[in-house]
Each structure stands twice: as C-alpha cells, then as structure tokens.
Structure 1
Amino acid sequence: MVVNEPLEISLKNVLDYFIVQNNEYRFVTKDFGIVSSFMRMTSELFFIHQPYKLKEGRIVYAVSGQVTLSINLIQYTAKKGDLLLLAPNSIIEIHEFTTDFEMRMMAIQNDFIQFLNKDEVLEYYIGRRENLFLPLSEKDYEMTERYFFLIWDTVHEEVFRKEVVQSLVSALLFNISYIRKRSKANNQTRHTRQEETFHRFIALVHEYCTRERNVAFYADKLCLSPRYLNTLVKNTSRQTVMEWLNQAVVIESKVLLKHSDLLVYQIADKLNFPNPSFFCKFFKKMTGMTPMEYQKS
C-alpha cells in the first residue's frame, strides 16, 4: 500500500492541485508564490480550527480586520499593520477572523534566497528558528505595501524575471530586519531573558516533540536544570513543560489524522507512542474525541 505523506501547504501542492498559476489574486511558481488577496481566493484548502504545516516560509501581513491564529502553539491576534515572518515547517491553525479580515502573503522556498545568510532576520527565516511577529508603524506599513506591489507587478511581466524578484524579496527582508532591530532598541518591545528562553523552548518543542518528551532533554538543550526550566516556563506561560509538550503532540496528531492516509496504529508509531491503545487514550484525554472521531469530524 502506498501511504501519502501528511499534507503540507507547499508551493508544489498548491501549484499542482489548488491554485491556477498567475490568476487575478495569486501567482505561483515552484519556488515562489505571492497572494494579493487571501480572502478572495477560491480554495477548499483552508478550514478554521484545523492545523496545517507550511513547508516553505511565509511573509504575511494584515491589511484589514483581525485574525486569531496559533503558530507552533503560540497564539497571536493580528490586525492591520501586523507582519508575521513564518519559518519553514511551521504549524498554523486559524481560530477565528472578522468578516473584514484581509491579508497579503508571499511563500518563499529556502533556495530562492539562499545567497542571503548573514542577516539576523534572514537567520530567523532561513535558519528555521522561531517565528517573528512585528507590528508595523503606518510609515513601515506603507513601505511594505510598496515593496509588495512592486514584486506583484514584476511577477506579472511577460517573462518571469526571477533575479529581479529575488532581489526585491531580499530588499523587503532586509527592510523587515531594519524594522525589527529598531523595535528591539525600544525598551517597551524588548523581551526579557526569561521570555527569550521560553521562545527558544517552544521552538525546540516544535522541532523535537514527536520523538522527545522528557523535560531533561529540553533543559539540556537550553543548558538549564529541569527544575529551573519548569519554573521558568510556568512563570512565563502559566503552563508546565509537559503541558506544552502534550499540546504539541496533539497538534502533530491532528495534522496526521486529517492530512494523511496513515492508519491510527501507523500514526501512533510515527509519534513514538508505545502502542496504539496508549495513543488513543492520550488523544481522547486531550481532545475529548478518539482519533477516529476526529478524522471524521
């Protein structure tokens, strides 16, 4: 039996199955995509309260309304002028949005900008580290719009000018880097050391939760004692390390249950549970549904 991999929202599957290249609201190639109106796209791909994994990184910013979503377990509420830089392989889940919500987006394969690897924000993006949430000033928002539509106009030239698009995307990322560094210089937006450690912990949970569910493993990665890590995480988020780990495993489970043809026992094995029964009990305890019930919901 051929088993499909879990569905990733990638340029390839969007190009092949969901989106017609170069239509009114979107333009997609194998290594770059741009969407001028997320809400006007006609796609059966996205549903609220359902997690998806993004293969490529994304530059996303809201232009109207408001959306509440989770990215790798962290919940955000984004409104006009809020920009998100999403690392590759992030898991997103949209919880709710207002009727007037709208956003613009770019999807960029790592190889598309691999020659840029020195800048701090580019390390966030290329290095697959934590995601970036950045409120923009009115001036910064207007400049981001100008970059976006310059790229939008360029991709619609008769011949796809890849090098020009690469340079414009790079310029946009460098501008985001400048905005971020300026924001960090502002004491009001500077994270405490505990908050920075917590975000590093969440990034590690996202990377390793399917195979490592021991507090000591994450404490060792962060050069902390397990007791201190638990205290830090609890003080920062009001949840324990194990509660975060369990939530991460549930999200991974949901992605596999909804977007693959893996059987429950195969999912249990993939997530390193000792047996399918243990996985089913864990999933029901966390969600109130059995894995089969969730698949059919």
Structure 2
Amino acid sequence: MKELEEITFQTLTNNEDIQIGYSDNDIIVVDSIQRFAEISAAHVSMNAIAICTQGKVQGSMNGQQIELHQNQVAIIPQNITVTDVMISPDFDLKGLFLTNSILQSFLREKMNIWNEMMFIKRYHIITITEEDILFYTHFYDMITLAISKGMDNPYHTDIVQSLLRSAILALCGAMKQKLSLATDHHIKTSDNHFQRFLDLLHSTEIKHRTVETYASDLCISPKYLTAICKKNSGKTANEWITEHVLEDIRYYLRHTDLSIKQICDRLGFPNSSFFGKYVKDHFGVTPLEFRNS
C-alpha cells in the first residue's frame, strides 16, 4: 500500500516546510510547495488551484493521467487522490486551497461551470497565455500587497477574499472558454437541479445512498432526477452515485489502514457481506484482494 499524504487545512498550516502567504478559516495561499517533491501520493481534502511556476509534474488524479508544465494551472476539486507523482528537479508551484463553502460563495451561479469542468468533462489543466501570465502576475502582486500591508485594516479578510474572488472569476472565464460556452445563459430549472445534485453528491460523506434519497433531499422525484442527469451528462443518477462510491472505495482500500469493517461502516454499507459483494460485482475481486493488488 502506498503511503498517502493527507493535504488538509491543518497539515498545510501546521507544516513549517510549506511557505504560507495567507490563511483564514476558508482559504490558504501557498507561496511555495517544493516540499511536495518528496510526496508520491496524496489525498487533497480541499479544492485546490495550483499554478506551476517552473519545471513540470505528472501523476494520476483519481486514475486520470495528468501532466502540469510551467505556466499551466491545475484545478483540483476536493477529496481527490493524487498518486504516482513524478516531478522535475526544478519544480515549484503556487497554490490556493479553498473550502467548498467559500468556493460556492465566490462563484455563486457560476458554480455550474466549475462542476462541468471538473466532474463532467474532467478537464483539470488550463494553459495560461503570455497575456494571462501578466494579468495574474499583477493580481498576485496586488493580493500579496493586501496581505502584507493591510493587517491592521478591520476589513483585511474581506479585502483579500474580494481580490481572490476576482482572480477565481477570471479563471472561471477561462474555464468557460475551454468548455466552448460562447455566452452566459440563464440556467434552466433542470440544469440547476443537476448542479445541486452534483454539489450534494460531492459534499456528502456517505455517498452510497439510493436515488430516491438524493431526490428527496432535492425535493424532486427520483424519475425527474434520473432524467435531468441523463439530459445534462449522458449518465443516470445511479451511474453518478456508483462512480463516486467506487472512487471512495478505491481510496479507502488502497490508501488507508482502516479495516474492511471500518470502511464498510464509513461508506454507509449495511454490513461487510453486502460490501464484499458490491466490491466483487464492480472490481471482480474481494475487498482484501483489491487492497493487496
């Protein structure tokens, strides 16, 4: 089993080897993260936006191969497992880590662009043009100035968060261009329900629940939830749920020392026998065999 580094709010702020430029209850700005040259696998519990400032890094994000070069941005949703990390000797990056609540507060109705980028299209890398580099460099300098010079201002946190929100909105615009969304459009009710379903699915610790349960949380019928999922993504609600449950199973079996019974309980399965059958049906092996493979 690969040793997995947990990247959480606490591990980032409490590590002396990581250069923290700013932190509050919802945001961490990392000035340098060269220390992660030593990490081959990590579980990232917060949403992260990372700009490669030099060198390159490659790895696997929940099984999807990615490669990040200088002047590229990696966008990572919360609770992602990154494995098989390999970096160049000169690799470094600047990172922004955000809780889900502050990200939703920043993006508001534009959260649908983030969700489509991350969870439907699964695009995680954006290349920055020379013009973009200049734009974000000026933005970073302004944020750095606000952080260092405005500590005594009673609205210090609001000022920094406003600047960060503006930068993230600019990045969201780049996402929209990548998704070939020509213009802003009014979000239809069905699309809005689909986005709410994705938000609920990604923020729920126990994802192994019925379509009926998710539909009830959204105050819509199970049939309607399945229909809007199929319309917006080509996958049914049950397929979305299963996909995310399997990602959690992979993580807990491959990268934690929790017992099979503990994993079964944590993921909301009624008993170990049912959990074992579920794993066998989807992976073709028992939980123990999958863990040891």
2:80 matched residue in structure 1 = 92
Task: Give the secondary-structure state (helix, strand or coil) at the position aligned to 1:203.
Answer: helix
- CA shift at 1:276, angstroms? 0.6
Q: Letter of the aligned partner of 1:12 in structure 2?
A: Q
Identical positions, percent: 24
Instruction: Select which of 194, 198, 201 maps to 2:194.
Output: 198
User: Does structure 2 conserve the Cα–Cα contact (< 8 Å) formed by 1:67 and 1:97?
Assistant: yes
* Cα distance between partner residues in 2 of 1:246 and 1:285: 12
* Cα distance between partner residues in 2 of 1:257 and 1:147: 42
Instruction: Select which of 35, 43, 60 maps to 1:41.
Output: 35
* Cα distance between partner residues in 2 of 1:76 and 1:190: 29
2:96 matched residue in structure 1 = 106
Instruction: Note the 1:1-297 alignment, pairs <5 A.
Output: 8-16=6-14, 19-21=15-17, 26-27=19-20, 31=24, 33-36=28-31, 40-47=34-41, 52-54=43-45, 56-61=46-51, 80=71, 82=73, 84=75, 86=77, 90-94=78-82, 103-108=93-98, 120-121=106-107, 139-149=131-141, 151=143, 166=157, 167-177=159-169, 180=172, 188=182, 190=184, 193=188, 194-208=190-204, 210=206, 213-297=209-293
When the two chains are superposed, the root-mean-square deviation of aligned CA atoms in Å is 4.9
Structure 1-normalised TM-score?
Answer: 0.63
- CA shift at 1:266, angstroms? 1.6
- CA shift at 1:265, angstroms? 0.8
* Cα distance between partner residues in 1 of 2:64 and 2:240: 10
The 1:7–1:175 alpha-carbon spacing in structure 2 relative to 1, beyond 3 Å, is closer
The 1:7–1:97 alpha-carbon spacing in structure 2 relative to 1, beyond 3 Å, is closer
User: Does structure 2 conserve the Cα–Cα contact (< 8 Å) formed by 1:15 and 1:21?
Assistant: no
Q: Letter of the aligned partner of 1:188 in structure 2?
A: A
Task: Give the secondary-structure state (helix, strand or coil) at the position aligned to 1:20.
Answer: coil
How many residues align structurally? Answer: 269
User: Does structure 1 conserve the Cα–Cα contact (< 8 Å) formed by 2:201 and 2:207?
Assistant: no
The 1:267–1:77 alpha-carbon spacing in structure 2 relative to 1, beyond 3 Å, is same
User: Does structure 2 conserve the Cα–Cα contact (< 8 Å) formed by 1:15 and 1:28?
Assistant: no
- CA shift at 1:279, angstroms? 0.8
User: Does structure 2 conserve the Cα–Cα contact (< 8 Å) formed by 1:11 and 1:29?
Assistant: no
TM-superposition CA deviations, 1:24-73 (whole Å, max 9, x none):
xx3378756444565x43444443xx7x241x4433345687978768x9
User: Does structure 1 conserve the Cα–Cα contact (< 8 Å) formed by 2:207 and 2:241?
Assistant: no
Task: Give the secondary-structure state (helix, strand or coil) at the position aligned to 1:58.
Answer: strand
Structure 2-normalised TM-score?
Answer: 0.64
TM-superposition CA deviations, 1:147-200 (whole Å, max 9, x none):
335556887x7x995979843453122343366479879961547635544332
The 1:130–1:295 alpha-carbon spacing in structure 2 relative to 1, beyond 3 Å, is same
TM-superposition CA deviations, 1:239-259 (whole Å, max 9, x none):
222121112112222333345
* Cα distance between partner residues in 1 of 2:44 and 2:138: 29
Q: Letter of the aligned partner of 2:9 in structure 1?
A: L
* Cα distance between partner residues in 1 of 2:279 and 2:165: 39
The 1:257–1:124 alpha-carbon spacing in structure 2 relative to 1, beyond 3 Å, is farther
Task: Give the secondary-structure state (helix, strand or coil) at the position aligned to 1:188.
Answer: coil
Most deviating of 60-69 and 143-152:
60-69
User: Does structure 2 conserve the Cα–Cα contact (< 8 Å) formed by 1:7 and 1:260?
Assistant: no
1:3 matched residue in structure 2 = none
User: Does structure 2 conserve the Cα–Cα contact (< 8 Å) formed by 1:35 and 1:105?
Assistant: yes
Higher RCO, 1 vs 2 (CA within 8 Å, ≥6 residues apart) = 1
* Cα distance between partner residues in 1 of 2:142 and 2:130: 18
The 1:85–1:284 alpha-carbon spacing in structure 2 relative to 1, beyond 3 Å, is closer
* Cα distance between partner residues in 1 of 2:32 and 2:284: 36
- CA shift at 1:81, angstroms? 5.3
User: Does structure 1 conserve the Cα–Cα contact (< 8 Å) formed by 2:253 and 2:290?
Assistant: yes
Q: Letter of the aligned partner of 2:11 in structure 1?
A: N
